């Protein structure tokens, strides 16, 4: 369904550039309030990460929702999955997140959760966009919405996170470095691990509105690696700015990405008979994950890139566990959306129950080398629609002869075609990626970057 403002993860862009402006966000709040409240009074919860622009957009949304006759519950800085959880438990008609996730501070965005704590369906986003085209009509004064601050929001979410591991579960005796990315989890993440008994060393827990994701967090884990080694810690946990993603570092400083964490959780669930429906990854998930799961007899399904598509396939296959290499992991037997803290706890639960470290738990999966080249193109195009590209792909797959795979994917945000080759031999993988990039550039655009 074509949409003008909503992308795969809400509305996002540079602050001050349309549509990420206070004027637009105010009207977005009004339009969402009219659609989600179905022209009746209801409550909407609003949470945000630590970007300085969050104050401005929080006020704009509050004004727009109030004008639509909706009450507002303000959560303050809270992880995206916490907002999904509190939307459900506070019986709100919707939840709104003000965040640009792993992007720099000068970006921001707005995304929505339904009353059930899941992303809005396309048709609801389309209805909001349609309402945006109408003039803003303020509700009669007696019907304007009221706002309140939820003072125990952090405590509620901390208790929820702790409830996702077995009763009596303890991290006592374990030293954990937690990198909060100077983002939304800067208070709650260290508290969760501390209350479960761990000795916690917190990084990235001093946000100033400008330093979110800056040299820290799941997209820049070098500081976490260094701290784990310097502190002689058992492991490290790195979240992104809105804490829906996680990567981890073992005691030797080796990084484990989302594919490896997904494998650890899946193997434990499978052993206990609690997996059901297999595991869902994306077209970018490492071939090593697929083959390791196959060796355990676990079906593996691939979705397009994006957590909403992973969720769609989870529901279609009746599966409970899915995720992306980036560390966005969805445990539907625990919560409704990707949750970095909850996912880390599931991995820690496997460590405790098996009496093994991260490296030992991940040893059953061997990651295949990947090489990606971004090819600039003059316009967005499906590379597989071009006969020379199809031939080049077929030739590459023939040379790899079952020892790897090829993926060509148009970027959803830039005029690029991403050429990815994955296989057993890193030299062969690089050579095949370069040949394919040349073929794509010759047929669809300019020379590869």
Residues annotated catalytic, as ranges: 101
> Tokens for 308?
């909403």
Phi and psi of 372, rounded to 5°?
-120, 140
Of 77, 21, 15, the residue nearest 47 (C-alpha): 77
Helix and strand tally (H, E) in the chain? 14, 18
SS3 content of the chain, % helix, strand, coil (to 5): 40, 20, 40
> Tokens for 335?
């919560």
> CA 267, CA 302: separation in Å to the nearest integer?
18
Give residues with Cβ within 8 angstroms of 328, minimum separation 6: 244, 245, 258, 307, 310, 338
Element (H, E) at 340: helix 340-354
Cα distances from 61 to residues 13, 43, 58, 139, 157, in angstroms, run 17, 13, 5, 15, 23
> CA 112, CA 36: separation in Å to the nearest integer?
10
> CA 238, CA 228: separation in Å to the nearest integer?
11
Give residues with Cβ within 8 angstroms of 98, minimum separation 6: 46, 47, 48, 49, 51, 54, 57, 58, 61, 108, 109, 110
Cα distances from 310 to residues 279, 280, 305, 349, in angstroms, run 10, 6, 8, 24
Q: What value does the CA radius of gyration of the chain take, rounded to a whole number of Å?
A: 22
């Amino acid at each position: 369904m074509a949409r003008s403002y909503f992308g795969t993860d809400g509305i996002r862009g540079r602050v001050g550039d349309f549509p990420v402006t206070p004027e637009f966000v105010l009207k977005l709040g009004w339009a969402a309030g009219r659609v989600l409240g179905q022209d009746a009074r209801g409550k909407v919860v609003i949470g945000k990460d630590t970007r300085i622009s969050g104050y401005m957009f929080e006020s704009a949304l509050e004004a727009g929702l109030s004008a639509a006759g909706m009450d507002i519950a303000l959560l303050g800085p809270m992880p995206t999955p916490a907002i999904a959880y509190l939307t459900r438990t506070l019986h709100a008609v919707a939840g709104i997140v003000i965040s640009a996730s792993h992007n720099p501070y000068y970006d921001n965005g707005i995304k929505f959760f339904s009353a059930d704590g899941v992303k809005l369906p396309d048709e609801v986003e389309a209805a909001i966009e349609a309402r945006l085209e109408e003039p803003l009509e303020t509700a009669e004064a007696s019907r304007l919405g009221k706002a309140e601050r939820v003072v125990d929001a952090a405590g509620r979410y901390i208790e929820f996170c702790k409830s996702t591991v077995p009763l009596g579960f303890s991290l006592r005796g374990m030293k954990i470095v937690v990198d909060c990315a100077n983002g939304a989890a800067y208070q709650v993440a260290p508290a969760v691990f501390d209350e479960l008994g761990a000795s916690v060393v917190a990084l990235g827990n001093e946000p100033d509105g400008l330093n979110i994701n800056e040299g820290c967090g799941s997209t820049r884990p070098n500081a976490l690696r260094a701290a784990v080694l310097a502190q002689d810690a058992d492991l490290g946990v790195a979240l992104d700015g809105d804490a829906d993603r996680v990567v981890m570092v073992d005691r030797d400083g080796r990084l484990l990405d989302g594919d490896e964490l997904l494998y650890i959780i899946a193997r434990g669930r499978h052993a206990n008979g609690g997996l059901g429906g297999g595991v869902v990854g994306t077209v970018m998930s490492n071939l090593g994950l697929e083959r390791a799961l196959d060796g355990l007899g676990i079906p593996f399904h691939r979705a397009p890139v994006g957590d909403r598509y992973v969720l769609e396939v989870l529901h279609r296959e009746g599966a409970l566990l899915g995720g992306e290499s980036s560390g966005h992991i969805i445990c539907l037997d625990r919560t409704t959306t990707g949750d970095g803290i909850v996912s880390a706890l599931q991995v820690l639960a496997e460590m405790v129950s098996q009496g093994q470290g991260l490296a030992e738990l991940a040893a059953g999966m061997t990651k295949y080398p990947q090489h990606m080249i971004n090819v600039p193109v003059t316009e967005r195009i499906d590379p597989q629609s071009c006969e020379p590209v199809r031939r080049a792909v077929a030739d590459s797959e023939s040379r790899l002869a079952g020892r790897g795979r090829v993926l060509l994917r148009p970027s959803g945000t830039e005029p690029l075609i991403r050429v990815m080759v994955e296989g057993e031999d890193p030299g062969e993988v690089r050579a095949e990626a370069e040949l394919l990039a040349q073929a794509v550039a010759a047929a669809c655009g300019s020379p590869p970057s």
